[in-house]
């Protein structure tokens, strides 16, 4: 009978130190979100908007394979969460949308005429146009964030 070492399947693990726990948790959260995206694509989903148009041309065989892989990854994630004593993170959609709105709002500020000049000359007409549109969009983002 061979001796199994801690960390091998079926053997108890010592708790992760807080810094390691945060690093592992945040990376596995990204993986978990990717698995959700895999399952969305496997179900035929695709995003379509103004500047994004995905076409989901996965064949039925590819969709089945992607769903199978997503489920397999999800199984490993569940095992890791249990073994590493990671807690499910409850995400408040309103808070997530506020955070994303703020992040996009900061990026949009960089499109203002005076800031774009850092990349080279910008016509006054283009600067006025962008500044006007950005004011409206930033106001709408602030409004959405306050819901």
Q: Is residue 138 part of a domain?
A: yes
Q: Is residue 7 part of a domain?
A: no
pTM assigned to the model: 0.74
Pair 47, 72 in one domain: yes
Along the 147 residues of the chain, how does pLDDT read in single tens digits?
566 676 676 666 788 899 999 999 999 999 999 999 999 999 999 999 999 999 999 999 999 999 999 999 999 999 999 989 898 988 899 998 999 999 999 999 999 999 999 999 999 999 999 999 999 999 999 999 988
Give yes or no for a contact between 32 and 77, defined as CB atoms under 8 angstroms apart: yes
Please count the structural domains in the chain. Answer: 2
Q: How big is the CA angle at 92 (ends 85 and 102), to the nearest 5 degrees?
A: 115
Burial, 53: exposed, middle or buried (Cβ in 10 Å; 0-12, 13-18, 19+)? Answer: exposed
Backbone angles phi, psi at 61, to 5 degrees: -65, -40
Pair 106, 126 in one domain: yes
Pair 110, 85 in one domain: no
- Residue 53: beta bridge partners? 48
The predicted pLDDT at position 60 comes to: 97
């Amino acid at each position: 009978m061979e001796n199994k070492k801690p960390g091998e399947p079926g053997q108890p693990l010592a708790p992760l130190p807080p810094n390691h726990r945060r690093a592992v948790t945040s990376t596995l959260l990204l993986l978990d979100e990717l698995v959700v995206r895999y399952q969305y694509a496997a179900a035929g989903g695709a995003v379509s908007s103004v500047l994004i148009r995905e076409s989901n041309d996965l064949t039925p065989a590819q969709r089945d394979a992607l769903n199978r892989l997503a489920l397999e990854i999800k199984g490993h994630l569940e095992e890791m969460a249990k073994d590493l004593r990671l807690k499910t993170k409850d995400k408040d959609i309103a808070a997530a949308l506020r955070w994303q709105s703020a992040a996009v709002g900061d990026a949009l500020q960089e499109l203002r005429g005076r800031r774009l000049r850092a990349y080279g000359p910008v016509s006054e007409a283009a600067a006025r146009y962008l500044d006007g549109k950005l004011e409206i969009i930033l106001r709408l983002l602030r409004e959405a964030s306050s819901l």
